[in-house]
């Protein structure tokens, strides 16, 4: 096992509150090898990649390249690109699918609207199996290739039709990591068995809190608070909880938030979440020196009704 994942496991670093932040995802198929910055360092059009990064800046839309599991020879890519556009709001998640010969058409998307939950009739509604997106880009971090690619291959071989390799989900030290859509929950430290459990749960509209890093729709303090409720009170239904996050008033506690978590059945909890530096230092990536990454600790969780 590679260094950054070994250190993270040995230090029992929490998964909760580590999911990438995105209200929406734009996933573009691009075969062949990927560089560390895949949108501009692959067979994808580099100028288009730069344009899309600029167009999505500040909109809540995260862009990644995807490809099917397997060998990825450096040969001329196919012309067609499968594209998924997804929004992850609780109670309002959706996925749209399109097949584009010319991905430059993506420049015409209203990314501010997409980030706010409006797809503008892009493509057609996707209604298949949950999308399983496993981070495998070894040029960013070798853990993702060594641990992610075998997992993606195993899931595809087991018959799950919608398994894709993806360029980046953050949190290399939690590899293998997987994003599931339409709901936007990210999972880490998966095995083939637990990944299949996650996909079965997603298909039935539930969350496996034990391996979950958080829902990308929420800020990281809210991710940690939501998962604390799921773990402590056995809440599994994917859209059962909503959160409202507020910073603690100045002068009280630095780097702290109160989070109100509300269940659709009327129950609610208040969480106090602190941001602290992880100790001791550990590598966030196999390519980086050890640091003290932020962690978000739920220091209290109180039922309010």
pLDDT in tens, 156-174: 999 887 999 999 888 888 8
User: How do residues 63-84 score in pLDDT, each as one tens digit?
Assistant: 999 999 977 655 556 678 999 9
The Cα 239–Cα 92 span in angstroms is 9
| Residues near 81 by beta carbon (within 8 Å), at least 6 away in sequence | 28, 29, 30, 99, 100, 101, 103
Domain boundaries in the chain?
1-218
pLDDT attached to residue 253: 61
C-beta of residue 20 within 8 angstroms of C-beta of residue 185: no
pLDDT attached to residue 1: 44
- Assigned architecture for domain 1-218: 3-Layer(aba) Sandwich (3.40)
Query: Taking the complete model, does pTM exceed 0.85, yes or no?
Result: yes
**Which residues of the chain carry a pLDDT beneath 70?**
1-2, 72-78, 138, 140-141, 250-254
């Amino acid at each position: 096992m590679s260094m950054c994942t070994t250190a993270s496991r040995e230090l029992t670093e929490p998964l909760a509150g580590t999911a990438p932040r995105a209200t929406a995802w734009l996933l573009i198929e691009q075969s062949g090898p990927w560089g560390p910055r895949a949108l501009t360092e692959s067979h994808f059009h580099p100028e288009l990649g730069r344009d899309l990064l600029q167009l999505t800046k500040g909109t809540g839309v995260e862009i990644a390249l995807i490809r099917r599991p397997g060998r990825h020879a450096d040969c001329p890519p196919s012309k067609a690109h499968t594209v998924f556009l997804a929004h992850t709001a609780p109670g309002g998640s959706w996925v749209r699918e399109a097949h584009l010969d010319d991905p430059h058409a993506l420049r015409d998307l209203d990314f501010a609207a997409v980030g706010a939950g409006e797809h503008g009739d892009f493509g057609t509604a996707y209604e298949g199996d949950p999308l399983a997106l496993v981070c495998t880009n070894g040029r960013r971090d070798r853990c993702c290739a060594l641990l992610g690619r075998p997992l993606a291959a195993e899931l595809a071989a087991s018959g799950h039709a919608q398994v894709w390799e993806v360029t980046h989900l953050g949190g290399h030290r939690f590899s293998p990591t997987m994003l599931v859509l339409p709901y936007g929950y990210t999972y880490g430290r998966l095995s083939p068995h637990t990944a299949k459990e996650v996909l079965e749960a997603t298909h039935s509209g539930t969350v496996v809190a034990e391996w979950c890093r958080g829902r990308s729709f929420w800020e990281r303090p809210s991710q940690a608070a939501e998962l604390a409720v799921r773990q402590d009170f056995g809440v599994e239904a994917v859209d059962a909880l909503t959160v409202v996050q507020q910073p603690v008033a100045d002068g009280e506690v630095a780097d702290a938030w109160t989070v109100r978590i509300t269940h659709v059945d009327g129950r609610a909890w208040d969480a106090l979440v602190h941001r602290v530096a992880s100790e001791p230092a550990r590598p966030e990536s196999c390519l980086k020196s050890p640091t003290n990454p932020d962690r978000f600790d739920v220091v209290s969780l109180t039922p309010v009704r």
